[in-house]
Chains A and B, each alone.
Chain A
Amino acid sequence: MDLTVSGAAPERTGTFLVEIERFQGPLDLLLHLIRTQDIDVLDIPIARITDQFLKAIQGLAAHDLDGAGEFLEMAATLVRIKAQMLLPRPSDDDDEDPRAELVRRLLEYEQIREVTHRLRVSEAERGRRFGKGYVPVRPKRPAVEAPLETTWDEVYEAALGVELPIPRDRRHRVTARTVSMEEKAVLILDALKGTTRVEFTRLLEGFAERMHGVMTLLAGLELTRRRLLLLRQTRPFADLWIYRREDEEEGDAATGGGDPFGDGLTEAAEASSLSEDPDMPIPEPDEGAQA
């Protein structure tokens, strides 16, 4: 695992400034100590290195117990080797130098680091060649992360701007269908009678024409403006949910304190209530839509 220790002050180990965060693990740190001091890996002054290692990891446990464990294990190994080096050893060949296993691990790790470097180079080279899968450029759609901010007037204007895909052969036919907003308001309120929330698309079931969607949305916004509903959408283009607004939690909900998900959901309700004139009459969109 990566060692990520925040706020740990760099430790001075002798003349060495060691920032523990930089190291991927105990072997990395150990190699750094050895290589920066021009130490022969095959003859590591274990006492000196152990001291430096211990100093470098001071205070680590307090920050990150998980990552510290790996460093502490290595510290224990170093201390044990240091102790073994002090003991007299029989000089026969069978008995390995106490440092041998550590040296083997260090060399192996260093080798792996070199391979890692080569892999990085290969990856970059390969990344400069492209195969099929290239898609012609399209205008970039910026990732919209900002909360929806709009006014009633803008929504109304946008709703009027919705172009219906009219089949060519029917273009001349004028359909005087009226979908009233009142009707949709009743539909919404009815849907919310037995429940606290309803998904916007549920309200469109059974209505094929787009105007039903537009009018249902307008009705929803209007009821929201009258503080009867809350509209919630977790992000642009996500499902829109309509919530019944309870009178007793009105103050709470208006400030966002009643947010049941607690994750910063966009509140169209607040946005739409920004409309300057609270007494703005319900517009007659039917007229405009057919103009």
Chain B
Amino acid sequence: MNPQQIVEAVLFASDAPLTADEIARADETLDEDEVEAALQSLRAEYDDAHRAFEVVELAEGYQILTRSEFASYLERFDNVPRPSKLSGPALETLAIIAYRQPLGRLEVEYIRGVGASGVIRTLQERRLIDVVARGEGLGRPLLYGTTQHFLEHFGFRTLEDLPRPEELPIVLRDRMPLGLDAGEDAEDGRDPQDEADEDDRPPAPDVEGAPESGEERP
């Protein structure tokens, strides 16, 4: 039994991504480096042999998945495991959480301009987000972040695979008059939760650190 075969067996039997470390647990003789090496040669082997599946880096681990060009054949069967697609509001909320995590519901609502409690619950039920911390603000709000399953669902290796904000073609981003720079800096320096709390709750006796927010938002 060579390392490559062991790694292949473990990957083959798994229905979720495994990290090199996890794969190495299959045998005492294996270490992470060996697993990585075996994974590379497995990958090359599958490519050379034109196998219908490949070793994919996914959610900080590895999984054997069919190549996408075979999708149309597999899609004919309605018992192929296939997560249902997310709705527009769910994706939008998830995008906000992915970029701003950890953050609370009120901040999500402020960015979207609409309520988000239902969508957040749905995302939590689908294990795409989870409560990762509690905020410092009033009522110690729940702060949400994305999960491992989020990476799996979108085929990302890590959160680094998310499109970078500076790559996004947002029109007029280069021109920044209107004191926008100052505004943004001030925003970044603040605890997001302080800001969010002010929106929905009766004013706290003293809110420090957010002098201009009261006049910005009625």
Residues of A within 8 A of B (CB): 1-3, 24-28, 40-42, 66-67, 70, 73-74, 76-77, 80, 93, 96-97, 99-101, 103-105, 107-116, 118-120, 122-135, 137-138, 140
Q: Is B65 part of the contact surface with A, judged by Cβ < 8 Å?
A: yes
* Chain A hits for B155, CB < 8 A: 122-123, 125-126, 129
Complex alpha-carbon distance, A116 and B108, angstroms: 14
Q: Is B49 part of the contact surface with A, judged by Cβ < 8 Å?
A: no
* Chain A hits for B64, CB < 8 A: 131-132
Complex alpha-carbon distance, A74 and B218, angstroms: 10
State whether B15 touches A42 (Cβ < 8 A).
no
Closest chain B residue to A104 by CB distance?
B183
A28 interface neighbour in B113, B162, B187, Cβ under 8 Å: B113
State whether A122 touches B156 (Cβ < 8 A).
yes
A110 interface neighbour in B80, B82, B170, Cβ under 8 Å: B170
Shortest beta-carbon distance, B32 to chain A, in Å? 22
State whether A114 touches B65 (Cβ < 8 A).
no
Q: Which of B36-44, B129-137, B172-180 contacts A (4 or more CB under 8 A)?
A: B172-180
Residues of B within 8 A of A (CB): 12-16, 56, 63-68, 70-71, 74, 77-83, 85-86, 88-89, 91-92, 94-96, 98-99, 110-116, 118-119, 152-156, 162-163, 165, 168-173, 175-180, 182-184, 187, 212, 216-218
State whether B113 touches A27 (Cβ < 8 A).
yes
Complex alpha-carbon distance, A283 and B191, angstroms: 80
Closest chain B residue to A123 by CB distance?
B154
Shortest beta-carbon distance, A46 to chain B, in Å? 12
State whether B95 touches A115 (Cβ < 8 A).
yes
State whether A103 touches B178 (Cβ < 8 A).
yes
Shortest beta-carbon distance, B194 to chain A, in Å? 16
A42-B178, A96-B182, A127-B83 as given contacts; A119 in contact with B217, CB under 8 Å: no
State whether A101 touches B15 (Cβ < 8 A).
no
A24-B92, A126-B154, A129-B67 as given contacts; A42 in contact with B80, CB under 8 Å: no
Complex alpha-carbon distance, A76 and B216, angstroms: 12
A99 interface neighbour in B71, B156, B178, Cβ under 8 Å: B178
Closest chain A residue to B77 by CB distance?
A137
State whether B71 touches A41 (Cβ < 8 A).
no
Given contacts A119-B95, A126-B155, 14 further A-B contacts (CB under 8 A): A1-B114, A40-B172, A42-B176, A70-B115, A96-B182, A101-B217, A108-B111, A109-B113, A112-B95, A112-B111, A116-B88, A119-B154, A134-B80, A134-B81
Complex alpha-carbon distance, A30 and B104, angstroms: 24
Closest chain B residue to A27 by CB distance?
B113
State whether A109 touches B112 (Cβ < 8 A).
yes
State whether A126 touches B178 (Cβ < 8 A).
no
Shortest beta-carbon distance, A104 to chain B, in Å? 6
State whether B79 touches A42 (Cβ < 8 A).
no
B81 interface neighbour in A74, A130, A138, Cβ under 8 Å: A130
